[in-house]
Structure formats: structure tokens, C-alpha cells
Amino acid sequence: MATVESFEELQVWQDARQLVKAVYAETRRRPFARDYRLCSQIQSAATSTMSNIAEGFERGSKQEFIQFLNIAKGSNGEVRSLLYVALDQEYLGSDRFHELRESALALSRRLARFIRYLEGFQGKTRVRKSK
């Protein structure tokens, strides 16, 4: 496994950060912004995706990292589901919905590949050095 010093270096975390940024940008716009519950839920799910990647990395063990990546993948699925709610309520146009959904799907695929990689990696049980 390549040496990574911090979760910020991980492409999956960077992708999750971009999705969070996009979700927050959309939820600031009206009429989406007026649906406080949906805004809060989709923001939380997107943030959870990003945060679980970071938390799993910081835990240090390969098994815990994989567990948190799976949780992140689940939260990302929640984001995709909530995008459909936003589309159905006409808070998002079709084009923007498809852009955001594709970003979330790409992140889901990247997370799945990363999980498979870690599961198959025969190296150390630690994903980072303890400091």
C-alpha cells in the first residue's frame, strides 16, 4: 500500500469533500433552502461520508478503516436517495440532479474499489504510523 500520511491525501476523501461543497451550495438556494429538514438531512449525510473516511483513517487499523469506509459508502447512498427527494420536490432541476447523482455514484464506486483493495492487501494491519 502506498504511504499516505493524512486522510486529506486520499482521493476518496477529496471527492467526498467536493460532494459536500456541492450539496451545501444547492441547499443554500431557494426553494431548497426553505425545506430545513431535507437540507439538514442531506448535508448531514454528505458530511458523514467525508467524516467517516477521515475517522476510519485516523483509527489506524485496517479493519476499522474498512468498517468506516463501508459506513461512508452507506451515507453516500443516503445522499443519492435524498437527491431524488429534492428532484421530486422540484428543488433541483433534472440536469443538476444528474450531475450530483453522478458525482455521488462515482464516489461510491471509488469507495467500493478502495474497500476491495484494502480487503485484499496482505500487508500490515495498520494503515498509518502511530505518532
- Give residue limits of the domains in the chain: 9-119
pLDDT of residue 131 exceeding 70, the answer is no
Residue with cell 427527494: 85
Confidence of residue 5 (pLDDT cuts 50, 70, 90): confident
Q: Give the residue among 58, 26, 53 at the shortest CA–CA distance from 115.
A: 53
CATH architecture of 9-119: Up-down Bundle (1.20)
pLDDT of residue 107 exceeding 60, the answer is yes
Report the chain's C-alpha Rg in angstroms. 16
Instruction: Please answer whether residues 73 and 50 qualify as being in contact, where contact means their C-beta atoms are separated by less than 8 angstroms.
Output: no
pLDDT in tens, 44-80: 999 999 999 999 999 978 999 999 999 999 999 999 9
Pick the more confident residue, 11 or 126: 11
* pLDDT at residue 52, as a whole number: 98
Instruction: Please answer whether residues 41 and 82 qualify as being in contact, where contact means their C-beta atoms are separated by less than 8 angstroms.
Output: yes
Rounded to two decimals, the pTM is 0.89
Residue with cell 500490515: 124
C-alpha distances in angstroms, 11 versus 87, 97, 110, 131? 28, 23, 9, 23
* pLDDT at residue 123, as a whole number: 65
| Torsion angle in degrees (nearest 10) through CA of 75, 80, 86, 89 | -120
